[in-house]
Amino acid sequence: MKSLAQNYRSQCPLSAALEMIGDKWSLLIVRDMCMGKSRYGDFQNSPEGIPSNILANRLRQLEENGIIKKQPYQTNPPRYEYLLSPKGADLLPVLQQLGLWAHRYVPGSMPPPDDFMAAKPEELLAGK
Amino acid sequence: MKSLAQNYRSQCPLSAALEMIGDKWSLLIVRDMCMGKSRYGDFQNSPEGIPSNILANRLRQLEENGIIKKQPYQTNPPRYEYLLSPKGADLLPVLQQLGLWAHRYVPGSMPPPDDFMAAKPEELLAGK
DNA sequence: TCCTATCACTTGCTAATTGCAAGTGACCAG
DNA sequence: CTGGTCACTTGCAATTAGCAAGTGATAGGA
Protein backbone atom coordinates (compact mmCIF):
# COMPACT_ATOMS: atom_id res chain seq x y z
CA MET A 1 0.00 0.00 0.00
CA LYS A 2 1.20 3.46 -0.75
CA SER A 3 2.73 5.09 2.28
CA LEU A 4 0.91 7.75 4.25
CA ALA A 5 1.59 11.28 2.94
CA GLN A 6 0.44 10.38 -0.57
CA ASN A 7 0.38 13.31 -2.92
CA TYR A 8 -2.69 13.25 -5.04
CA ARG A 9 -3.67 15.85 -7.63
CA SER A 10 -6.15 17.41 -5.21
CA GLN A 11 -7.93 16.70 -1.96
CA CYS A 12 -11.05 15.62 -3.78
CA PRO A 13 -11.87 12.02 -2.88
CA LEU A 14 -13.15 11.30 -6.38
CA SER A 15 -9.93 12.51 -7.88
CA ALA A 16 -7.89 10.33 -5.54
CA ALA A 17 -10.08 7.35 -6.37
CA LEU A 18 -9.54 7.90 -10.07
CA GLU A 19 -5.81 8.06 -9.59
CA MET A 20 -6.02 4.58 -8.10
CA ILE A 21 -8.60 2.85 -10.26
CA GLY A 22 -9.21 5.22 -13.16
CA ASP A 23 -8.41 3.02 -16.12
CA LYS A 24 -10.06 0.46 -18.35
CA TRP A 25 -8.89 -2.67 -16.54
CA SER A 26 -8.52 -2.29 -12.76
CA LEU A 27 -12.20 -2.47 -11.92
CA LEU A 28 -12.64 -5.43 -14.23
CA ILE A 29 -10.19 -7.35 -12.06
CA VAL A 30 -12.11 -6.28 -8.97
CA ARG A 31 -15.31 -7.40 -10.68
CA ASP A 32 -13.80 -10.83 -11.30
CA MET A 33 -12.70 -11.07 -7.68
CA CYS A 34 -16.22 -10.13 -6.55
CA MET A 35 -17.39 -13.09 -8.62
CA GLY A 36 -15.04 -15.46 -6.85
CA LYS A 37 -12.06 -15.49 -9.17
CA SER A 38 -8.67 -15.27 -7.53
CA ARG A 39 -5.95 -16.56 -9.83
CA TYR A 40 -3.90 -14.96 -12.56
CA GLY A 41 -5.23 -17.41 -15.11
CA ASP A 42 -8.82 -16.72 -14.07
CA PHE A 43 -8.40 -13.04 -14.78
CA GLN A 44 -6.72 -13.76 -18.08
CA ASN A 45 -9.61 -15.95 -19.15
CA SER A 46 -12.24 -13.26 -18.71
CA PRO A 47 -13.91 -12.42 -21.99
CA GLU A 48 -12.33 -8.98 -22.30
CA GLY A 49 -8.92 -10.56 -22.83
CA ILE A 50 -6.64 -8.41 -20.73
CA PRO A 51 -3.05 -8.50 -22.01
CA SER A 52 -0.75 -10.41 -19.71
CA ASN A 53 1.70 -7.61 -18.99
CA ILE A 54 -1.15 -5.21 -18.19
CA LEU A 55 -2.69 -7.76 -15.85
CA ALA A 56 0.56 -8.22 -13.95
CA ASN A 57 0.97 -4.46 -13.72
CA ARG A 58 -2.58 -3.84 -12.49
CA LEU A 59 -2.37 -6.56 -9.88
CA ARG A 60 0.78 -4.89 -8.58
CA GLN A 61 -0.90 -1.47 -8.49
CA LEU A 62 -4.03 -2.79 -6.82
CA GLU A 63 -1.86 -4.42 -4.20
CA GLU A 64 0.17 -1.23 -3.69
CA ASN A 65 -3.09 0.63 -3.20
CA GLY A 66 -4.28 -1.86 -0.60
CA ILE A 67 -7.25 -3.00 -2.65
CA ILE A 68 -6.13 -6.60 -2.99
CA LYS A 69 -3.76 -8.93 -1.16
CA LYS A 70 -1.44 -11.50 -2.69
CA GLN A 71 -1.25 -14.80 -0.86
CA PRO A 72 0.51 -18.10 -1.55
CA TYR A 73 -1.83 -21.01 -2.13
CA GLN A 74 0.92 -23.59 -2.62
CA THR A 75 4.65 -23.60 -2.12
CA ASN A 76 5.94 -25.99 -4.78
CA PRO A 77 6.09 -24.40 -7.23
CA PRO A 78 5.36 -21.11 -5.43
CA ARG A 79 1.97 -19.91 -6.59
CA TYR A 80 -0.11 -16.99 -5.45
CA GLU A 81 -3.73 -16.02 -5.46
CA TYR A 82 -5.26 -12.60 -5.06
CA LEU A 83 -7.96 -11.71 -2.54
CA LEU A 84 -9.94 -8.56 -1.88
CA SER A 85 -9.03 -6.51 1.16
CA PRO A 86 -11.85 -4.73 3.03
CA LYS A 87 -10.97 -1.65 1.00
CA GLY A 88 -11.34 -3.63 -2.18
CA ALA A 89 -14.55 -5.35 -1.13
CA ASP A 90 -16.06 -1.96 -0.36
CA LEU A 91 -15.78 -1.10 -4.03
CA LEU A 92 -18.70 -3.45 -4.63
CA PRO A 93 -21.41 -0.77 -4.23
CA VAL A 94 -19.59 1.36 -6.78
CA LEU A 95 -19.46 -1.52 -9.23
CA GLN A 96 -23.10 -2.35 -8.62
CA GLN A 97 -24.15 1.23 -9.37
CA LEU A 98 -21.95 1.36 -12.44
CA GLY A 99 -23.28 -1.95 -13.68
CA LEU A 100 -26.85 -0.75 -13.30
CA TRP A 101 -26.05 2.47 -15.07
CA ALA A 102 -24.40 0.76 -18.00
CA HIS A 103 -27.14 -1.80 -18.35
CA ARG A 104 -29.69 0.98 -18.45
CA TYR A 105 -27.88 3.02 -21.08
CA VAL A 106 -25.73 0.67 -23.13
CA PRO A 107 -27.82 -1.13 -25.71
CA GLY A 108 -26.96 -4.78 -25.90
CA SER A 109 -25.28 -5.03 -22.50
CA MET A 110 -26.34 -7.79 -20.16
CA PRO A 111 -28.00 -7.00 -16.87
CA PRO A 112 -25.61 -7.40 -13.95
CA PRO A 113 -25.94 -11.00 -12.69
CA ASP A 114 -28.29 -11.52 -9.76
CA ASP A 115 -25.64 -12.88 -7.46
CA PHE A 116 -23.48 -9.89 -8.23
CA MET A 117 -26.25 -7.45 -7.38
CA ALA A 118 -27.20 -9.38 -4.25
CA ALA A 119 -23.68 -9.58 -2.89
CA LYS A 120 -22.45 -7.55 0.05
CA PRO A 121 -18.91 -6.41 0.72
CA GLU A 122 -18.54 -8.47 3.92
CA GLU A 123 -19.27 -11.65 2.03
CA LEU A 124 -16.36 -11.12 -0.32
CA LEU A 125 -13.64 -11.44 2.28
CA ALA A 126 -12.35 -14.67 3.82
CA GLY A 127 -15.02 -17.38 3.52
CA LYS A 128 -15.45 -16.71 -0.19
CA MET B 1 -23.51 9.39 -29.47
CA LYS B 2 -22.00 6.19 -30.75
CA SER B 3 -24.31 4.48 -33.18
CA LEU B 4 -26.26 1.40 -32.24
CA ALA B 5 -24.32 -1.82 -32.98
CA GLN B 6 -21.41 -0.69 -30.84
CA ASN B 7 -18.75 -3.32 -30.46
CA TYR B 8 -17.54 -3.45 -26.95
CA ARG B 9 -14.95 -5.88 -25.57
CA SER B 10 -17.69 -8.00 -24.02
CA GLN B 11 -21.36 -7.89 -23.13
CA CYS B 12 -20.56 -7.07 -19.52
CA PRO B 13 -22.11 -3.73 -18.62
CA LEU B 14 -19.19 -2.83 -16.37
CA SER B 15 -16.78 -3.43 -19.17
CA ALA B 16 -18.78 -1.24 -21.53
CA ALA B 17 -18.97 1.48 -18.89
CA LEU B 18 -15.21 1.41 -18.46
CA GLU B 19 -14.68 1.71 -22.19
CA MET B 20 -16.65 4.96 -22.01
CA ILE B 21 -15.48 6.53 -18.78
CA GLY B 22 -12.54 4.42 -17.64
CA ASP B 23 -9.81 7.00 -17.39
CA LYS B 24 -8.45 9.52 -14.93
CA TRP B 25 -10.32 12.58 -16.22
CA SER B 26 -13.78 11.86 -17.63
CA LEU B 27 -15.56 11.43 -14.33
CA LEU B 28 -13.87 14.54 -12.96
CA ILE B 29 -15.58 16.53 -15.70
CA VAL B 30 -18.89 14.89 -14.83
CA ARG B 31 -18.23 15.75 -11.18
CA ASP B 32 -17.71 19.39 -12.10
CA MET B 33 -20.92 19.39 -14.11
CA CYS B 34 -22.78 17.88 -11.16
CA MET B 35 -21.51 20.85 -9.17
CA GLY B 36 -22.92 23.30 -11.66
CA LYS B 37 -19.93 23.99 -13.87
CA SER B 38 -20.59 24.07 -17.58
CA ARG B 39 -17.88 25.94 -19.42
CA TYR B 40 -14.52 24.93 -20.80
CA GLY B 41 -12.77 27.43 -18.58
CA ASP B 42 -14.60 26.15 -15.51
CA PHE B 43 -13.29 22.66 -16.08
CA GLN B 44 -9.80 23.94 -16.72
CA ASN B 45 -9.81 25.82 -13.45
CA SER B 46 -10.56 22.78 -11.33
CA PRO B 47 -7.74 22.06 -8.91
CA GLU B 48 -6.56 18.91 -10.69
CA GLY B 49 -5.41 20.99 -13.65
CA ILE B 50 -6.52 18.95 -16.61
CA PRO B 51 -4.39 19.66 -19.70
CA SER B 52 -6.26 21.63 -22.34
CA ASN B 53 -5.94 19.10 -25.15
CA ILE B 54 -7.11 16.28 -22.89
CA LEU B 55 -10.09 18.34 -21.79
CA ALA B 56 -11.13 19.03 -25.39
CA ASN B 57 -10.71 15.37 -26.23
CA ARG B 58 -12.72 14.15 -23.23
CA LEU B 59 -15.55 16.59 -23.88
CA ARG B 60 -15.74 15.23 -27.42
CA GLN B 61 -15.80 11.62 -26.19
CA LEU B 62 -18.38 12.33 -23.50
CA GLU B 63 -20.56 13.95 -26.13
CA GLU B 64 -20.08 11.04 -28.54
CA ASN B 65 -21.13 8.71 -25.75
CA GLY B 66 -24.26 10.74 -25.05
CA ILE B 67 -23.22 11.67 -21.54
CA ILE B 68 -23.10 15.39 -22.15
CA LYS B 69 -24.57 17.82 -24.67
CA LYS B 70 -22.84 20.82 -26.22
CA GLN B 71 -25.01 23.91 -26.55
CA PRO B 72 -24.34 27.46 -27.69
CA TYR B 73 -24.78 30.07 -24.99
CA GLN B 74 -23.93 33.03 -27.24
CA THR B 75 -23.47 33.50 -30.94
CA ASN B 76 -20.91 36.28 -31.25
CA PRO B 77 -18.33 34.99 -30.87
CA PRO B 78 -19.79 31.49 -30.97
CA ARG B 79 -19.39 29.96 -27.54
CA TYR B 80 -20.62 26.69 -26.15
CA GLU B 81 -21.42 25.25 -22.79
CA TYR B 82 -21.73 21.65 -21.79
CA LEU B 83 -24.70 20.13 -19.99
CA LEU B 84 -25.41 16.69 -18.59
CA SER B 85 -27.81 14.49 -20.51
CA PRO B 86 -30.09 12.14 -18.51
CA LYS B 87 -27.50 9.45 -19.11
CA GLY B 88 -24.81 11.68 -17.68
CA ALA B 89 -26.90 12.83 -14.73
CA ASP B 90 -27.54 9.20 -13.84
CA LEU B 91 -23.84 8.77 -13.20
CA LEU B 92 -24.35 10.76 -10.01
CA PRO B 93 -25.06 7.72 -7.80
CA VAL B 94 -21.85 6.13 -9.06
CA LEU B 95 -19.88 9.25 -8.22
CA GLN B 96 -21.51 9.49 -4.81
CA GLN B 97 -20.56 5.91 -3.98
CA LEU B 98 -17.05 6.39 -5.27
CA GLY B 99 -16.67 9.60 -3.30
CA LEU B 100 -17.78 7.89 -0.12
CA TRP B 101 -15.43 5.01 -0.75
CA ALA B 102 -12.44 7.22 -1.34
CA HIS B 103 -13.16 9.40 1.64
CA ARG B 104 -13.33 6.31 3.80
CA TYR B 105 -10.07 4.83 2.58
CA VAL B 106 -7.87 7.66 1.33
CA PRO B 107 -6.19 9.41 4.24
CA GLY B 108 -6.32 13.16 3.82
CA SER B 109 -9.16 13.27 1.35
CA MET B 110 -12.04 15.61 2.02
CA PRO B 111 -15.53 14.26 2.62
CA PRO B 112 -17.75 14.68 -0.43
CA PRO B 113 -19.53 18.05 -0.07
CA ASP B 114 -23.01 17.93 1.43
CA ASP B 115 -24.72 19.39 -1.60
CA PHE B 116 -23.02 16.83 -3.77
CA MET B 117 -24.21 13.96 -1.60
CA ALA B 118 -27.71 15.41 -1.35
CA ALA B 119 -28.13 15.94 -5.08
CA LYS B 120 -30.34 13.80 -7.25
CA PRO B 121 -29.91 13.07 -10.96
CA GLU B 122 -33.16 14.82 -11.96
CA GLU B 123 -31.98 18.06 -10.42
CA LEU B 124 -28.92 18.17 -12.63
CA LEU B 125 -30.74 18.60 -15.91
CA ALA B 126 -32.34 21.75 -17.29
CA GLY B 127 -33.28 24.05 -14.44
CA LYS B 128 -29.89 23.64 -12.82
C1' DT C 1 15.66 -39.94 -18.01
C1' DC C 2 13.40 -37.21 -21.17
C1' DC C 3 9.31 -35.07 -22.92
C1' DT C 4 5.35 -32.44 -22.46
C1' DA C 5 2.33 -29.55 -19.96
C1' DT C 6 0.77 -25.97 -16.54
C1' DC C 7 0.87 -21.69 -14.26
C1' DA C 8 2.35 -17.19 -13.50
C1' DC C 9 4.55 -14.18 -15.05
C1' DT C 10 8.48 -11.17 -18.07
C1' DT C 11 10.58 -9.22 -22.11
C1' DG C 12 10.94 -6.81 -26.59
C1' DC C 13 9.03 -3.93 -29.56
C1' DT C 14 5.66 -0.95 -31.86
C1' DA C 15 1.63 1.90 -31.63
C1' DA C 16 -1.29 4.87 -29.25
C1' DT C 17 -2.12 8.08 -25.59
C1' DT C 18 -0.72 11.68 -22.30
C1' DG C 19 0.77 15.99 -20.92
C1' DC C 20 3.31 20.35 -21.36
C1' DA C 21 3.86 24.62 -23.64
C1' DA C 22 2.78 27.52 -27.00
C1' DG C 23 -0.16 29.18 -30.65
C1' DT C 24 -4.69 30.39 -33.09
C1' DG C 25 -9.14 32.61 -34.25
C1' DA C 26 -13.11 35.13 -33.19
C1' DC C 27 -14.56 38.82 -31.08
C1' DC C 28 -14.99 43.04 -27.60
C1' DA C 29 -13.42 47.18 -24.95
C1' DG C 30 -10.58 51.21 -24.61
C1' DC D 1 -4.98 49.72 -33.21
C1' DT D 2 -3.87 47.36 -28.86
C1' DG D 3 -4.73 44.33 -25.49
C1' DG D 4 -7.62 40.96 -23.42
C1' DT D 5 -10.89 36.93 -23.04
C1' DC D 6 -12.49 32.45 -24.22
C1' DA D 7 -12.27 28.12 -26.30
C1' DC D 8 -9.88 25.59 -28.26
C1' DT D 9 -5.55 23.39 -31.54
C1' DT D 10 -0.90 22.10 -32.60
C1' DG D 11 3.80 20.21 -31.95
C1' DC D 12 6.50 17.34 -29.66
C1' DA D 13 8.61 14.49 -26.02
C1' DA D 14 7.52 11.09 -22.65
C1' DT D 15 4.73 7.64 -20.85
C1' DT D 16 1.65 3.78 -21.30
C1' DA D 17 -0.82 0.12 -23.85
C1' DG D 18 -0.97 -3.97 -26.28
C1' DC D 19 0.69 -7.91 -29.05
C1' DA D 20 3.55 -11.90 -29.39
C1' DA D 21 6.87 -14.63 -27.71
C1' DG D 22 9.80 -16.31 -24.06
C1' DT D 23 11.09 -17.88 -19.17
C1' DG D 24 11.36 -20.58 -14.81
C1' DA D 25 9.73 -23.73 -11.53
C1' DT D 26 7.69 -27.95 -11.16
C1' DA D 27 4.57 -32.14 -11.96
C1' DG D 28 3.25 -36.08 -14.55
C1' DG D 29 3.80 -39.59 -17.92
C1' DA D 30 6.41 -42.76 -21.50
pLDDT tens digits, residue range A50-69?
999 999 999 999 999 999 99
Residues paired with residue A69 on neighbouring β-strands, in sequence order: A83
Nearest C-alpha neighbor of A30 from the set A52, A62, A66: A62
What is the Cα–Cα distance from B90 to B87, expressed in whole angstroms? 5
Domain locations along chain B: 13-123
The Cα A89–Cα A87 span in angstroms is: 6
- Whether B12 sits inside 8 A of A6 (CB atoms) is no
CA of A68 to C1' of C6 (A): 25
Q: Which residue of B has its CA nearest to A107?
A: B4
- Residues 12-71, chain A, CB closer than 7 Å to nucleic strand D: 23-25, 49, 51-54, 57
- Tell me how far CA of residue B40 lies from CA of A11, A25, B50, in angstroms: 22, 28, 11
With vertex at residue B26, the alpha carbon angle to CA B122 and CA A60, rounded to the nearest 5 degrees, is 125
> pLDDT at position A127, please?
54
Nearest to A40 by CA among A24, A49, A52, A31: A52
- The confidence score (pLDDT) of residue B5 equals 52
Name the protein residue, with chain letter, whose CA is nearest the C1' of D25: A77
Residues of chain B with C-beta less than 8 angstroms from the C-beta of A104? 90
Q: Span B86-99, mean pLDDT? A: 98
CATH architecture of B13-123: Orthogonal Bundle (1.10)
The widest CA-to-CA distance across chain A, in whole angstroms, is: 47
Tell me what pLDDT residue B60 has: 98
Locate the DSSP E strands across B1-128.
68-74, 79-84
Count chain A–chain B contacts defined by CB atoms under 8 A: 155
With CB atoms and an 8 Å threshold, state whether A99 touches B14: yes
Average pLDDT over residues B9-13: 96
Q: Which residue of A has its CA nearest to B47?
A: A10
CATH class of A13-124: mainly alpha
Q: Closest nt to A40 (CA→C1')?
A: C8
d(CA A117, CA A95): 9
Q: Read off φ and ψ for residue B81, nearest 5 degrees.
A: -125, 165
Q: Exposed/middle/buried for A75, CB within 10 Å: 0-12, 13-18, 19+?
A: exposed
State, as a whole number of angstroms, the distance between the CA of A63 and the C1' of D11: 38
In whole numbers, what is the pLDDT of chain B averaged over residues? Answer: 93
Q: By mean pLDDT, which of A42-46, A105-109, B41-45, B66-70 is the weakest?
A: A105-109
Name the residue of chain B whose CA is nearest to A49's CA.
B9
Say whether the ipTM exceeds 0.85: yes
**Cβ pair B101:A90 closer than 8 A:** yes
- Stated length of chain B: 128
Write out chain A's pLDDT in tens, 128 residues.
Answer: 544 457 899 999 999 999 999 999 999 999 999 999 999 999 999 999 999 999 999 999 999 999 999 999 988 888 999 999 999 999 999 999 999 999 999 998 999 999 999 999 999 996 54
Pairing of strands A68-74, B68-74: unpaired
Q: Which of A18, A35, A39, A51 is nearest to A92 (CA)?
A: A35
Which pLDDT does position B1 carry in this prediction?
Answer: 53
B52 touches strand D (CB under 7 A): yes
C-alpha–C-alpha distance, residues A89 and A71, integer Å = 16
**Residue A55, nucleotide of least CA–C1' distance:** C9
Mean pLDDT of B58-67: 98
Cis peptide before A77 (omega within 30 of 0): yes
Task: Provide, in whole angstroms, the distance separating residue A75's CA from nucleotide D13's C1'.
Answer: 45
Q: Which nucleotide is nearest to A25 (CA to C1')?
A: D17
Question: How far away is chain A from the Cα of B63, in angstroms, using its nearest Cα?
Answer: 14
CA distance linking residue B114 with residue B110, whole number of Å: 11
